[in-house]
Amino acid sequence: MRVVTKQELIDFVDAQPDDRPIDFNQFYSIEDCGCLMVHFGKEVLKLKGQFCCDNSRWIVKGNTAVAHLQGDNFIFYNIVSNSRVKTYGELKLNLYRDSR
């Protein structure tokens, strides 16, 4: 199973245009916008077809996890549970404000 590090997610976020939409309420690959983990799953993990994400895993058909976050990774969880970021620019502002 692939292990995704906090730094990989931060690097991915940093590489996104500030105006790119993000919706942390859309954690299924078939939704129109998608959350950070859906975007990462499609673009970095190259997941095809339908998949979903929880706070730490990418899950494909049959409830099989194909990747997971390494360790205590969720600075992102705290950001999205405490704010309503709608773009990568807003997410970056929250990341830079918090400890990296």
Q: For residue 4, what is the enclosing H or E element?
A: strand 2-4
Q: Residue 29 carries which side chain, given as an amino acid letter?
A: S
pLDDT for the residue numbered 82: 55
Query: Using CA atoms, how far apart are residues 20 and 18, in angstroms rounded to an integer?
Result: 6
Query: Using CA atoms, how far apart are residues 9 and 40, in angstroms rounded to an integer?
Result: 8
pLDDT for the residue numbered 68: 87
Query: Using CA atoms, how far apart are residues 4 and 71, in angstroms rounded to an integer?
Result: 9
pLDDT digits (tens, 9 = 90+) for 36-80: 889 999 999 999 999 998 878 899 988 899 998 887 655 566 555
pLDDT for the residue numbered 63: 85
Percent of the chain with pLDDT over 90: 39
The single-letter DSSP state of residue 6 is H
